[in-house]
Chains A and B, each alone.
Chain A
Amino acid sequence: MSSARKVISSLEFWGLLVASTLFISWYAYPQILFALYPPYELLRLLLPGLLPDLALAASSIWSLPEPPR
């Protein structure tokens, strides 16, 4: 591979890395809360009574109610 190609390829990869970081940041809200909620419930299952139920607070995050059937 020529050195010019190597530079292009390296720039492409850095570009993709930056783009991925930006895309993940964009995706993070509100999905980060939805990703943390299940492990929290698992902890609550394993440690009964120690942690508060956050289901109501969690459900207030998303903008739409469960659609009617």
Chain B
Amino acid sequence: MSAFELAARLAAWMVAAGFIFLLAYVTLRRLRSGRTALDGVIYILLVVFLTSLFTLLAGLAGLLRPAPLAAIAAGGLGILMVAPGARSSLREIPGGLRYFLHSCKALWNDLPRWLRLLSALGIGLSVARFAFLIWALPPFVWDSLTYHLTNVAHWIQAGRIELFETPVERIYSPANYELLATWFSVFLHHDVVVEAAGLPAYLIGLASVYCIGRSLGASRSAAWIGVLAYGTTPALLIATTGTKNDPHVAGYFLAALALAIDLSGGRLSDPAQNSLGEMLSIALALLLAAGTKAYIAHLLPGLALIAALYLPRGRSLKLWRGHLAASARQWRALSVSTRAGLGALLCAGLLLGGYWNVRNWILTGNPFYPYGVIVEGSQVIQGPESYHHLGLDRLAENLANFAFKFGDKRAPIRPDLPNTTGWGWFVYGIGLPVALWGLLRRRRVRILWVGFLVSLLTIMLSNRPSPWNMRYVIWFPALFCLAFTALWDERPTGTRLARGAMSVLYVLALSLNFATTLNYDKISAEEFRSMLQLPALRRHAALFEDNMPAAFRNVLKFVPNEALLGYNVHNNGFIYPLYRSDFSQRVVYVPLSPQDTCEDIAGRMRQSGTRYLVVAPEHTSDENIARLRQCADLESEIRERAQGLYVLR
């Protein structure tokens, strides 16, 4: 890529991002809650929402290329500048920004000196860590390389969002995260910063924890203490740049919870409260989550319980009734154009929340394709992949599985959490005793416990017991961090020594959490060095030695960029690395079976339009690999060019 081309691509990205940022600001005007931190959550949520929507619509229209995206965004910017309502909103930006910075300054001034030092150091080191890991390493987490990023690579190559032939049926899964990952790759036509697609979700999660802490009655500095603790939770921190969708679901869930608590009595009788805007924001967060991963449905019972029980004696329910009435009043008072705008926003939410499942339903008759559904032993919906199994036997298995992983005694904490919970030093060390104290002594913490536990148990009713399944609950550690915020303001004054010792423990736990995540607890110095020796734009996932089969590296060495590459993997095999980091390699699935003759295989390769076929142990069935080896040994038309890479003579 020439410097000019890179500059042009970056310029297109800036125009498109500028449009999204401004449109989100204009939209925020109608959804504003009247609390700065909560408005921050809604704003980031809107940026993610509008980015995903823009990518989805452009992708469905076949316009997923930098030039059309920038052109549409430029048109949109023009409309925002001309439309009177939007123009007046945009004029508020400098004032809004000043107010936001003023609030940040107020928070900063409230922090004790040691906490300011810790925050400055923590933020600086976190930014450096994120930047280094995003820049230095290609994507490497298993599920990303099988289906999340495979979708992204195919869509970018095709310039449109579409299905394609592959044995990995999970490409049908809801793909809102993939929309965001596409946004981070389509302009550069490269995956060099794709890991950054997790950062907005991380920010939403942290800002939501701050808001919930404030709603619980914590001071600014206590709420900030909780934010830092949640922000260093290893499971969340390493998943953020792990190119997977779990941090997004966690972020959307916590955002919905922060908004719901605000409406349930987090602040009482505030005339600035915007019931309609906050309720719509909750709907948008949950719809965004529904189109990201279906397990958000399992979190709803806990969310509803917290919203209903937050204030004692049914006062929260009364408040909700009041909010519903207020929303109806607000709706009636809106102008027709504003009503149309908010209606369109809700429709867009329904599109993002339902598109993938409705598409699957129309195409396969099963909205959850490729998954089937079993409820208490009876099959409700059939599917070729594993089943969403809802039953008490599942719950028992999952609880045993959880007990096995509790305490992170079995393994290091890595991105997909094999055999660990990934909750880290703070949660197990400080959070657990403090949360138990909160359970006994503080009503609001008790309500959080009830809601979080109900959501956790509901997930465990259907979660497939596996070594990796704790990634679905990376929102749960927020409970322990929030309990700690409740304790922090109540430290007794006469215990200076104990207060100091608790602060030391807190800093120690956060530091050890952070240290654990520096290299995902798995990437060696040699691996980093070999990646850093390559130019940033040539750090292909296929070159990543830690988990990559030799055959995939051979593809880079022996298959020309312009050739069509055939591959054969099973339903959980890597495909993404074959596309290369700049999505320049076209790939095609070549189906095989051990019963095929060598002529059959050669014929199928020719039929697929390729001379090359790559297979790899662990990713291709052993029988298929053995059959290909036999063909190569038999001096047939197929020969082995390099380990795992076969070519037609």
Check if B419 sits within 8 Å of A69, measured CB to CB: no
Check if B498 sits within 8 Å of A34, measured CB to CB: no
- How many angstroms from the CA of A53 to the CA of B356 in the assembled complex? 46
Check if B498 sits within 8 Å of A6, measured CB to CB: no
0/1 per residue, B513-525, Cβ < 8 Å to A?
1011111010111
Check if A55 sits within 8 Å of B524, measured CB to CB: yes
A66's nearest neighbour on chain B, judged by CB, is: B418
Q: Is A57 part of the binding interface, using a Cβ–Cβ cutoff of 8 Å? A: no
Q: Is B434 part of the binding interface, using a Cβ–Cβ cutoff of 8 Å? A: yes
Check if B434 sits within 8 Å of A27, measured CB to CB: no
CB distance from B543 to the nearest CB of A (A): 17
Residues of chain A within 8 A of B517, CB atoms compared: 38
Beta-carbon contacts under 8 Å, B18-69 to A: none
- How many angstroms from the CA of A22 to the CA of B142 in the assembled complex? 36
- Please tell me which one of the listed residues A29, A39, A53, A64 contacts residue B518 in the complex, with CB atoms under 8 A apart: A39
Q: Is B412 part of the binding interface, using a Cβ–Cβ cutoff of 8 Å? A: yes
- How many angstroms from the CA of A67 to the CA of B469 in the assembled complex? 12
Check if B518 sits within 8 Å of A17, measured CB to CB: no
Residues of chain B within 8 A of A26, CB atoms compared: 407, 428
Q: Is B99 part of the binding interface, using a Cβ–Cβ cutoff of 8 Å? A: no
Residues of chain B within 8 A of A53, CB atoms compared: 524-526
Beta-carbon contacts under 8 Å, A13-69 to B: 13-14, 16-17, 19-21, 23-24, 26-27, 29-32, 34-39, 41-42, 44-45, 48, 53, 55, 62-64, 66-67, 69
Check if A23 sits within 8 Å of B492, measured CB to CB: no
Check if A19 sits within 8 Å of B498, measured CB to CB: no
Interface size counted on chain B using CB atoms at 8 A: 51
B619's nearest neighbour on chain A, judged by CB, is: A69
With contacts A13-B491, A19-B433, A20-B429 taken as known, whether A27 is within 8 angstroms of B408 at the C-beta atoms is yes
A51's nearest neighbour on chain B, judged by CB, is: B525
Residues of chain A within 8 A of B384, CB atoms compared: none
Residues of chain B within 8 A of A29, CB atoms compared: 409
Residues of chain A within 8 A of B468, CB atoms compared: 67
- How many angstroms from the CA of A54 to the CA of B528 in the assembled complex? 15
- How many angstroms from the CA of A9 to the CA of B495 in the assembled complex? 10
Taking chain A's interface residues, is the majority helix, strand, or loop, or is none over half, making it mixed?
A: helix
B516's nearest neighbour on chain A, judged by CB, is: A35
CB distance from A66 to the nearest CB of B (A): 6
CB distance from A67 to the nearest CB of B (A): 4
0/1 per residue, B479-516, Cβ < 8 Å to A?
00000000100111011001101100100110011011
Check if B142 sits within 8 Å of A69, measured CB to CB: yes
Check if B618 sits within 8 Å of A9, measured CB to CB: no
Check if A20 sits within 8 Å of B505, measured CB to CB: yes
Q: Is B98 part of the binding interface, using a Cβ–Cβ cutoff of 8 Å? A: no
CB distance from A45 to the nearest CB of B (A): 4
- Please tell me which one of the listed residues B424, B487, B516 contacts residue A38 in the complex, with CB atoms under 8 A apart: B516
Residues of chain B within 8 A of A48, CB atoms compared: 525, 529
Check if B524 sits within 8 Å of A24, measured CB to CB: no
Residues of chain A within 8 A of B494, CB atoms compared: 6, 10
Residue in A13, A20, A48, A63 with the greatest tally of chain B CB atoms within 10 Å: A20
Q: Is B432 part of the binding interface, using a Cβ–Cβ cutoff of 8 Å? A: yes
- Please tell me which one of the listed residues A27, A36, A64 contacts residue B425 in the complex, with CB atoms under 8 A apart: A27
With contacts A24-B430, A27-B428, A66-B418 taken as known, whether A17 is within 8 angstroms of B498 at the C-beta atoms is yes
Check if A62 sits within 8 Å of B529, measured CB to CB: no
Check if A23 sits within 8 Å of B529, measured CB to CB: no
Residues of chain A within 8 A of B430, CB atoms compared: 20, 23-24
With contacts A16-B437, A39-B518, A64-B410 taken as known, whether A27 is within 8 angstroms of B419 at the C-beta atoms is no
A21's nearest neighbour on chain B, judged by CB, is: B505
Q: Is B534 part of the binding interface, using a Cβ–Cβ cutoff of 8 Å? A: no
Check if A45 sits within 8 Å of B429, measured CB to CB: no
Check if A32 sits within 8 Å of B512, measured CB to CB: yes
- How many angstroms from the CA of A24 to the CA of B428 in the assembled complex? 7
Residue in B419, B492, B508, B528 with the greatest tally of chain A CB atoms within 10 Å: B492
- Please tell me which one of the listed residues B407, B437, B487, B572 contacts residue A27 in the complex, with CB atoms under 8 A apart: B407
Residues of chain A within 8 A of B487, CB atoms compared: 16
Beta-carbon contacts under 8 Å, B519-566 to A: 519, 521, 523-526, 528-529
14 A-B pairs within 8 Å (CB atoms) are namely: A10-B495, A12-B441, A14-B498, A23-B428, A24-B429, A26-B428, A30-B409, A31-B516, A35-B515, A41-B518, A41-B525, A44-B525, A45-B529, A63-B410
CB-based closest 5 A-B pairs? A24-B429, A38-B518, A19-B433, A44-B525, A34-B412
A interface residue numbers (CB < 8 A to B): 6, 9-10, 12-14, 16-17, 19-21, 23-24, 26-27, 29-32, 34-39, 41-42, 44-45, 48, 53, 55, 62-64, 66-67, 69
